[in-house]
Chains A and B, each alone.
Chain A
Amino acid sequence: MSDLAAIRKFEAAKRRSLVTPEGVDLSLKLADIGQRIAAFVVDGLIMIGCLIALTFLAIAALAAIGIERGELVAVIWLLGYFILRNGYFILMEMGPRAATFGKRGSGLRVVARSGERLTADRVIARNLMREIEFYLPISFLSYNAAEGAGSALMSLAGLAWTGLFLFFPMFNKDKMRVGDLLAGTWVISAPRKKLAVDLLDTEVPAAPQFTFTEAQLDVYGVFELQTLERVLREAQPEAIATVAYTIRNKIGLGNQYGDDHEFLLCYYDAIRARMERGLLFGKRRADKFDKGA
């Protein structure tokens, strides 16, 4: 019992309720630390790429118009660098998708914790804090390395500072950076998803070869049903064989053979139809341990 309950609790802990004015809870899913790191790395690479491109352009422009009139080029380069460093995140997150390219790639977006619209002041606050979360430790460490004068103690202090901000998102249940905390924002995972075909619609043979008794259908609950759905969608032959074997044994058809995939589809179809009918009568069985009230 405790295993499945723990899994459900773990999944629920990643959800945050946001009730729309229409009264529906959107139950947003917070982004994983891994997704956020991936997004940040992509953004970092994009920024470095832009900076390199800008530098090459500047060099090319200098070569074209001559070094003595290079002041304009230098001004543009410096402003470009400044805007890239401070403006990339802010401008991207103020757009309609509220996400940088890296965040889009990971299916993330920034939202206000209160569910209000995401305003510029929040975006600015969360991104200016990157200055002490990321740039300060980086410039500190590189300065130390370049000078060669950084004592062990100073490096250690720098490391502790970096660590404090780096691990900050892991020590609060909302996975907020310091910037998120000050801006009142969350980063949620809202990937754009195409609607996959309904398993029931396409693949079930017109006349099922397998029929099940009510007792055989009442073995499992919603959790198992949705796990079965995932197995069928992923369509890994080994997984399908294992699951089919387990279910056959469980419902007492251990000695019956046939196509595993077809068997699972028929079983999925039958059990889902039965459980959905149960839902209409207000019966929802969470998992196989749930005996119902």
Chain B
Amino acid sequence: MAGPSDSRRFRAAREGEWRRLEEILTTAEKKSVKALDDEELLALPILYRGALSSLSVARETSLDLELITYLEGLCARAYFFVYGVRTSAGSRLAAFFARDWPLAIQSLWRETLVSLAITLIGALAGYLLVVNDPEWYASFVSPDLAAGRDFSASAEFLRQQLYDSPGADGLSFFATFLFTHNSQIAIMCFALGFAFGVPTLMLLIQNGAMLGAILALYFSRGLGLEMGGWLIIHGSTEMFAIILAGAAGFRIGWSVVFPGEETRLDAATAAGRSSALAMAGVVAMLACAGMLEGIGRQIVISDMARYAIGLIMLALWLAYFYLPRRIDV
């Protein structure tokens, strides 16, 4: 009764090809595509199609569960490899900075304006409240952060704070610390957007209010212009980055609440992908801001130079993001 069944002959005839495909995939996944020689590269798509057709045949004619699961696994692996990413990391990075990132930022323009408006409202509120009643200062600027820069401090002390550097050494550590700390906050600002954007809104308001409160303090001592220089040299980059992070968060929150024509899931996915791209760049921006703040501000003491650097950076960022560019893929 038990003659060699068709499925057994089928398996015996094809098994060699499957094993060859498996070997090629293992080499390619372990090392890289470059580890494959020409012959293997040419064989790969053919073997892949062969395995797919084997799978179809096996599903219809074989009852060997082991064989079918093996083929399913092999075909899935081969599929993801054959249709997977083939560009090098370098060219992907180049495409990111040349096209993908600015386009992602451009697509967030509405949210960016909202985010900017919220920060400005926060700053204005912080400023007005503190000007009218200095008691408010402590609720916007925590004592750790203020480090003595509060209304009890003398104008001389405050001025000193603007121009004193923590010494030449320690600068790069300071810059790194600022970068990692700010990035973590920006990522949080983005991720919290998922909770319908409410925590992102609160973070932006708080950030703005802190800015307003500090400005109020320095203006009240007649040091407004000097403070502006101290802030703008890195602030034009840093605040811009945080506003963009907030915008990315709002995009997610908005799409979850108001998905529009698409399903909620599709809308969330589209928003998540484009804002994640924007976020990857925001981290790069914050690295830049960290260097400007940690190193640039300590070295550049002149107010004029500080304003010039800050404004030039702002102009560069704006031009980079928003100047129309050709979209050719």
Using CB atoms and an 8 Å cutoff, list the residues of chain A in contact with chain B. Answer: 18, 20-22, 24, 26-28, 71-72, 74-75, 78-79, 81-82, 86, 94, 96-98, 109, 111, 113, 117-122, 124-126, 128-129, 131-132, 136, 178, 181-184, 188, 190-196, 198-201, 204, 208, 211-212, 222, 225-226, 229-230, 233, 266, 269-270, 272-273, 275-277, 279-280
For window 6-62 of chain B, which residues contact chain A by CB distance below 8 Å? 6-8, 11-12, 15, 18-19, 26, 28-29, 32, 49, 52-53, 55-56, 60-62
Question: Given A78-B177, A190-B77, A273 and B5 touching (CB < 8 A)?
Answer: yes
Q: How many residues in B have their beta carbons less than 8 Å from beta carbons of A? A: 77
Question: Given A20-B52, A24-B52, A269-B2, A124 and B191 touching (CB < 8 A)?
Answer: no
> Distance (Å) between the CB of B184 and the closest chain A CB?
8
B56-A193 in contact (CB<8A) = no
A181-B61 in contact (CB<8A) = no
- Which of B15, B184, B272 meets A184, CB within 8 Å? B272
A233-B66 in contact (CB<8A) = yes
Which residue on chain A has the smallest CB distance to residue B279?
A: A128
B279-A182 in contact (CB<8A) = no
Contacts of A233 in B (CB 8 A): 66
B172-A71 in contact (CB<8A) = yes
A129-B6 in contact (CB<8A) = no
B176 contacts chain A at the CB level, 8 A cutoff = yes
B164 contacts chain A at the CB level, 8 A cutoff = no
Question: Given A131-B188, A275-B63, A78 and B273 touching (CB < 8 A)?
Answer: no
Kindly state the separation between the CA atoms of A112 and B83 in the bound complex, as whole angstroms: 12
For window 155-183 of chain B, which residues contact chain A by CB distance below 8 Å? 169-170, 172-173, 176-177, 179-180, 183
Which residue on chain B has the smallest CB distance to residue A113?
A: B269
Using CB atoms and an 8 Å cutoff, list the residues of chain B in contact with chain A. Answer: 1-3, 5-8, 11-12, 15, 18-19, 26, 28-29, 32, 49, 52-53, 55-56, 60-67, 69-70, 72-77, 79-81, 83-85, 92, 96, 100, 169-170, 172-173, 176-177, 179-180, 183-184, 187-188, 190-192, 194-195, 252, 265, 268-269, 271-277, 279-280, 283
Kindly state the separation between the CA atoms of A83 and B94 in the bound complex, as whole angstroms: 20
A182-B194 in contact (CB<8A) = yes
Contacts of A194 in B (CB 8 A): 70
> Distance (Å) between the CB of B148 and the closest chain A CB?
23
A-B contact pairs, 13 of them (CB 8 A): A20-B79, A21-B83, A24-B55, A26-B76, A86-B187, A96-B85, A178-B194, A181-B269, A181-B272, A222-B63, A226-B63, A272-B7, A279-B63
A71-B273 in contact (CB<8A) = no
Kindly state the separation between the CA atoms of A195 and B176 in the bound complex, as whole angstroms: 51
Contacts of B274 in A (CB 8 A): 121
